[in-house]
């Protein structure tokens, strides 16, 4: 390019960046800063009033709404206003055309808004989405909706099918992270826009804002690239333009974000009363064992070991049986069985104390989840060095990082002895060359230095760590209580094992720990073209840092916009609460066992009449190991109790759970003994046996002539556990683990037993078969031509339908997964070494552009993500492979494969046999994926015969993919080829109808098995799964009919 062309391009880029900056500044003014830009001409305004309270907050909210009305909504054509909390309160019955009178009513309505309770967003959406004349919907919420994201999203998507309705969600001054996440995800799922406003400026976020920042970042990257690669002659005009371009390129994106109030103001330093402790140290003082509240400590004074002794006259060891009548048997922590004297008042008092301790633990969790501890955890050491990640990928979040450091300096650093801060990107930037005392003036200087930080480079964590260890902690063996705190958003540049080995070495033998605070940034964040040195998803990053922390004997803290995901401090407290819950369950077991013992004693005497023996031989009676109570037993007890209180797994409800157990036990009355002797134990049938002599000597044989009749035992409905994440396997393999039969949810198996068959007996006097006298009063049904009586309780059937509905929903989710992304056309890639064969004959001409696009998705979505070694091969009259062998799926090879695939063009005939022969010759290949639209040019039987011969030498699967099912001959050939080669047949026909059917079933309900129905899938995976879906829907319908 000529110098004038480059200069003109730079000028246009600079003009564009200036335009973007002007637009950003405009967005941060007036009502646009609070609510964003309202689009559409016919607007529905939904206002959540559950977060309001009387006072300044309500007045500020009303003032901002009036500003929105005067600046934006007054220029629309139609308006509809509705406020909601638990109930909805519309201003008008239908949208009104905007005029002076309507605007006056709307302003009056805003001024009369009153605080409410609850946030029933679903009810508000049900009301407003029925108004078809609206083309824009603005949702303003300040608290978390009562319904989950899935429910809101499914309903809104269903109502908006075929409509052009713009959704704009606004979170107004909301401190609940869950609310931010739900409304943001809802806007993204509905292809709308979101806006987050905070009066403190901490959580500002906007989809419009991010789009401008991304575009601005692209322009800046272009300016930097031109400056680095193009050399121009000295010129004053050019020099001035170069200075302007450089200034634009160096502008940080975070400079446009609104800052929290007094962001650059002086620190407000707080002095903690006592030095903080880790949860492990805190539990040494307040744990159950430290408070002598261990269950075995409580029961120890009343616990006795079984007595056994040798009786010389009997020449045997015998054990006492008196303990069985007087005490309860309880399994001790070492596995032995102790005899326990149950003291009910002691157990009741113990459970009260347990409930009190759980409330203390809840308060500890609340304390760990607020202020600076939500970000950093509890900073406990006396000498502290803070490592801060300022890599370029954090440019958007630098204000968040600075605010996090401000909170730490204000709340937790004033009572430390010494501290330092080290920022790192590619280079290491320490605040001071050595540790300084934690005095107010030093904390203020550190804050001023933090405000000057800029994000640059990659994430060179190991160099920063070495700088802290070798300089700040050079005398680490001479001091106690030393800690390193790392705040980062991603995986380090260095390998995890390298960092772990170094950390383990420097922390060995000294009082030095490394603690990691991992901040998970928003999914889908665009880094402006910047590629990190290493990339890992959030879970892989967390796994790597947990390994590093374990080597350093430190603590791991993982948080994000939605709250705290994982924290070692909180996990220790939750573990102690689980222990308290377990002890309470065992107390309930002892009380229940004692109650059952009382029932047995009221029916049967302690010993048989006239039997005065209290000793029994060891051979006749062995002490039985008492099983520990299962959690499900306690849960069933709670669910069927008169109190009706449910056990919730949330740790915050453990205190209520323990109190409930105590109340439930006191509510139970001990059984009375008035009906003593009326109940006789059932006599057990004994088998009859005939004895005979055998032919060999005096040997005796025996034959059972009559066996005792087996009792019919109904099988209970088992609790179903299904995987949340999709497994990469065929539907046949998946259903072998999660089919209705495998999950033991077949209706006849559960509802009927051998004793439930309707039988008729012959009456000689009547000369015919008749039914039992009372058969007509039992409900019955015909199953496979046999009439059977139903044997279940309504509660059991309700539990069964609930479990089956859960399974059916999971089936439908897997159907949606199989029909999404590249799996819609290619199916699921199962093997680790594959070759994909693409038919590029002349008949493929109309299909080749979408196939090329889907092939790109396949390469990145399945091959790269699952690290599959692969090769590509296209065939028409001749075959052409991308590489001569299978290659690893790296970013570089995937880019190259996509480029090669884009050069495909349709021509000639189809030589399938030659393509298969060449693909089978690749070293190490495990499976072939053949995509074609018709029969081969050669004989089908010849291809099948030749492939059968080749597969005898090497066991390679061949999966076939048909793009169109119009040619039945081609479909049958591909099915035979896949079946013979141990593969699967896949056809993408009907995918759109299948997605719609699955969505409608999930949103409209699972009751009707006839509507909607899936199209007929010919592919093996979808066919097997939809057949299982149809079976589940049929059973569910039958079960609900019986109910």
Question: 217-221, 252-256, 369-373, 745-749: which has the minimum mean pLDDT?
Answer: 252-256
- What pLDDT is recorded for position 775? 67
Residue 98: both structure tokens together: 């905007």
CATH class of 39-203: alpha beta
- The tens digit of pLDDT for each residue in 612-639 reads 333 333 333 444 444 444 443 333 333 3
DSSP code, position 773: T
Which sign does the torsion angle of CA 1023, 1024, 1030, 1033 carry? Answer: negative
Q: How confident is the model at residue 694 (pLDDT cuts 50, 70, 90)?
A: low
* Cis check: omega of the bond before 1012, within 30 degrees of 0: yes
- What pLDDT is recorded for position 261? 55
Whether 378-554 and 39-203 are alike in CATH topology: the answer is: yes
Closest Cα partner for 80 from 32, 139, 156? Answer: 139
Question: 309-323, 686-700, 781-795: which has the minimum mean pLDDT?
Answer: 686-700
Dist CA 720 CA 727 (whole Å): 17
Is residue 252 pLDDT above 90, yes or no?
A: no
Pick the CATH number of 827-989 from 3.10.180.10, 3.40.50.670, 3.40.50.410, 3.40.50.2300: 3.40.50.410
- The tens digit of pLDDT for each residue in 42-84 reads 999 999 888 776 667 788 888 889 998 888 888 888 999 999 8
Is residue 466 pLDDT above 80, yes or no?
A: yes
DSSP codes, 731-774? HHHHHHHHSTTTTT--HHHHH--GGGB--EEEETTTTEEEE-TT
Q: Residue 410's CB: how many other CB atoms inside 10 A?
A: 17
- What pLDDT is recorded for position 662? 46
Dist CA 436 CA 427 (whole Å): 22
Whole-number average pLDDT of the chain: 78
Closest Cα partner for 256 from 17, 513, 552, 587? Answer: 17
Which sign does the torsion angle of CA 983, 989, 992, 997 carry? Answer: negative
Which DSSP helix (H) or strand (E) runs through 513?
A: strand 512-520
Q: How confident is the model at residue 589 (pLDDT cuts 50, 70, 90)?
A: confident
Is residue 988 pLDDT above 90, yes or no?
A: no
Is residue 841 pLDDT above 90, yes or no?
A: no
- The tens digit of pLDDT for each residue in 116-154 reads 888 888 889 988 888 888 889 999 988 888 888 888 888
- What pLDDT is recorded for position 671? 42
Three-state DSSP class for residue 99: coil
- What pLDDT is recorded for position 825? 87
Is residue 764 pLDDT above 80, yes or no?
A: no
- What pLDDT is recorded for position 614? 35
Identify each DSSP E strand in 897-956 by its residue range: 927-932
Radius of gyration of the chain (CA): 37
- The tens digit of pLDDT for each residue in 314-370 reads 778 777 666 666 677 777 877 787 777 777 888 888 888 988 899 899 888 888 888
Percentage with pLDDT > 90 across the chain = 9
Q: How confident is the model at residue 23 (pLDDT cuts 50, 70, 90)?
A: confident
Is residue 396 pLDDT above 50, yes or no?
A: yes
Closest Cα partner for 413 from 378, 448, 362? Answer: 378
Residue 217: CA count within 13 A, CB half-sphere = 21
- What pLDDT is recorded for position 926? 92
Is residue 835 pLDDT above 80, yes or no?
A: yes
Question: 197-206, 575-584, 924-933: which has the minimum mean pLDDT?
Answer: 197-206
Residue pair 830/886 in contact (Cβ under 8 Å)? The answer is no
Is residue 707 pLDDT above 70, yes or no?
A: no
Q: What crossing angle do the helices spanning 1020-1042 and 731-738 adopt, rounded to 10°? A: 30
950 to 738, 920, 973: CA distances (angstroms):
35, 8, 18
Closest Cα partner for 116 from 146, 82, 81, 86? Answer: 86
Question: 482-496, 500-514, 990-1004: which has the minimum mean pLDDT?
Answer: 990-1004
DSSP code, position 863: I
- What pLDDT is recorded for position 833? 93
What are the extents of the domains in the chain?
1-35+206-257, 39-203, 281-361+574-603+614-667, 378-554, 756-791, 793-821+996-1013+1022-1043, 827-989
Dist CA 874 CA 880 (whole Å): 5
Dist CA 666 CA 288 (whole Å): 24
Domain 378-554 fold is: Rossmann fold (3.40.50)
- For the segment 873-901, the average pLDDT, to the nearest whole number, is 90
Q: How confident is the model at residue 648 (pLDDT cuts 50, 70, 90)?
A: very low
pTM (2 d.p.):
0.47
């Amino acid at each position: 390019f000529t110098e004038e062309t480059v200069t003109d391009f730079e000028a246009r880029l600079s003009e564009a960046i200036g335009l973007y900056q002007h637009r950003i500044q405009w967005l941060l003014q007036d009502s646009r800063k609070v609510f964003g830009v309202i689009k559409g001409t016919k607007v529905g305004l939904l206002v959540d009033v559950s977060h309001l309270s009387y006072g300044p907050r309500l007045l500020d909210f009303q003032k901002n709404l009036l500003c929105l009305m005067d600046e934006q909504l007054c220029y629309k054509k139609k308006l509809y206003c509705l406020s909601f909390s638990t109930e909805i309160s519309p201003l008008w019955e239908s949208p009104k055309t905007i005029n002076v009178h309507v605007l006056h009513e709307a302003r009056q309505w805003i001024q009369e808004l009153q605080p409410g309770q609850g946030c029933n967003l679903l009810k508000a959406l049900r009301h407003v989405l029925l108004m078809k004349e609206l083309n824009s919907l603005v949702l303003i919420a300040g608290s978390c909706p009562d319904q989950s994201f899935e429910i809101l999203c499914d309903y809104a998507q269903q109502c908006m099918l075929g409509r052009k309705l713009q959704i704009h969600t606004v979170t107004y001054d909301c401190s609940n992270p869950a609310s931010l996440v739900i409304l943001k995800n809802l806007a993204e799922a509905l292809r709308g826009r979101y806006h987050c406003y905070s009066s403190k400026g901490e959580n500002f976020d906007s989809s419009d804002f991010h789009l401008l920042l991304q575009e601005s970042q692209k322009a800046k990257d272009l300016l930097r690239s031109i400056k680095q690669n193009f050399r121009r002659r000295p010129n004053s005009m050019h020099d001035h333009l170069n200075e302007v371009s450089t200034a634009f390129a160096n502008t940080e994106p975070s400079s446009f974000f609104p800052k929290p109030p007094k962001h650059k103001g002086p620190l407000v330093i707080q002095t903690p009363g006592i030095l903080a402790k880790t949860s492990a140290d805190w539990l040494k003082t307040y744990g159950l064992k430290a408070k002598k509240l261990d269950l075995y400590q409580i029961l120890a004074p009343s616990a006795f070991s079984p007595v056994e002794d040798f009786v010389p006259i009997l020449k045997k060891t015998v054990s006492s049986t008196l303990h069985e009548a007087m005490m309860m048997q309880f399994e001790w922590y070492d596995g032995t069985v102790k005899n326990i004297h149950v003291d009910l008042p002691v157990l009741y008092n113990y459970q009260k104390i347990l409930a009190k301790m759980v409330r203390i633990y809840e308060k500890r969790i609340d304390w760990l989840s607020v202020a600076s501890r939500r970000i950093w955890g509890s900073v406990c050491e006396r000498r502290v060095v803070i490592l801060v990640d300022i890599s370029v990928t954090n440019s958007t979040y630098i204000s968040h990082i600075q605010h996090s450091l401000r909170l730490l300096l204000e709340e937790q650093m004033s009572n430390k002895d010494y501290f330092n801060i080290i920022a790192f990107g590619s280079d290491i930037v320490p605040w001071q060359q050595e540790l300084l005392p934690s005095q107010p003036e030093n904390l203020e200087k550190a804050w001023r230095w933090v405000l000057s930080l800029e994000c640059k480079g990659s994430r060179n964590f190991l160099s920063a760590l070495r700088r802290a260890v070798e300089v700040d902690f050079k005398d680490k063996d001479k001091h106690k209580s030393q800690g390193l705190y790392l705040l980062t958003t991603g995986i380090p540049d260095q390998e995890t094992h390298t960092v772990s080995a170094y950390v383990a070495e420097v922390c060995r033998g000294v009082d030095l720990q490394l603690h990691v605070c991992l901040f998970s940034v928003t999914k889908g964040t665009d880094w402006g073209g910047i590629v990190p040195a290493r990339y890992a998803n959030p879970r892989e990053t967390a796994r790597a840092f947990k390994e590093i922390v374990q080597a350093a004997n430190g603590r791991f803290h993982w948080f994000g916009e939605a709250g705290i995901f994982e924290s070692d401090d909180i996990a220790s407290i939750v573990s102690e609460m689980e222990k308290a819950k377990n002890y309470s369950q065992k107390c309930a077991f002892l009380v229940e066992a004692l109650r059952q013992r009382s029932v047995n004693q009221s029916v049967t005497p302690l010993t048989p009449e006239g039997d005065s023996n209290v000793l029994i031989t060891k051979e006749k009676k062995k002490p039985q190991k008492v099983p520990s109570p299962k959690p499900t037993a306690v849960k069933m007890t709670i669910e069927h109790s008169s109190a009706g209180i449910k056990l919730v797994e949330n740790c915050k409800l453990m205190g209520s759970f323990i109190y409930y157990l105590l109340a439930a036990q006191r509510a139970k009355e001990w059984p009375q003994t008035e009906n003593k002797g009326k109940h006789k134990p059932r006599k057990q049938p004994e088998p009859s046996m005939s004895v005979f002599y055998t032919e060999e000597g005096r040997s005796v044989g025996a034959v059972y002539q009559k066996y005792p009749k087996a009792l019919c035992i109904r099988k209970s409905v088992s609790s179903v556990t299904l995987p949340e994440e999709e497994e990469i396997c065929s539907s046949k393999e998946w259903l072998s683990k999660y089919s209705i039969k495998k999950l033991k949810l077949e209706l006849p198996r559960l509802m009927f037993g051998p004793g439930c068959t309707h039988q008729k007996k012959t009456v000689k006097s009547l000369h015919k078969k008749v039914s039992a006298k009372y058969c007509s009063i039992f409900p019955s049904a015909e199953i496979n031509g046999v009439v059977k009586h139903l044997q279940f309780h309504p509660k059991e059937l309700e539990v069964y339908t609930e479990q089956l509905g859960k399974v059916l929903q999971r089936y439908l989710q897997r159907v949606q997964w199989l029909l999404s992304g590249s799996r819609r056309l290619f199916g699921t890639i199962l093997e680790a070494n594959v070759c994909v064969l693409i038919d590029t004959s002349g008949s493929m001409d109309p299909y080749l552009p979408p196939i090329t696009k889907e092939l790109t998705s396949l390469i990145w979505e399945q091959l790269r993500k699952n690290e599959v070694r692969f090769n590509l091969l296209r065939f028409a009259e001749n075959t052409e492979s991308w590489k001569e062998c299978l290659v690893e799926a790296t970013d570089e090879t995937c880019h190259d494969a996509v480029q090669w695939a884009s050069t495909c063009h349709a021509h000639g005939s189809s030589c399938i046999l030659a393509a298969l022969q060449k693909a089978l010759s690749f070293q190490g290949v495990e499976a072939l994926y053949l995509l074609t639209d018709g029969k081969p040019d050669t004989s089908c039987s010849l291809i099948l015969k030749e492939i059968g011969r080749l597969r005898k030498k090497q066991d390679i699967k061949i999966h076939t993919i048909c793009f169109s099912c119009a040619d039945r001959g081609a479909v049958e050939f591909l099915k035979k080829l896949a079946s013979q080669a141990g593969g699967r047949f896949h056809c993408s026909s009907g995918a759109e109808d299948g997605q719609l059917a699955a969505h409608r079933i999930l949103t409209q309900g699972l009751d009707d098995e006839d509507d909607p129905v899936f199209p007929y899938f010919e592919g093996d995976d979808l066919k097997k799964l939809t057949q299982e879906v149809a079976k589940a829907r049929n059973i569910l319908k039958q079960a609900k009919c019986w109910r």
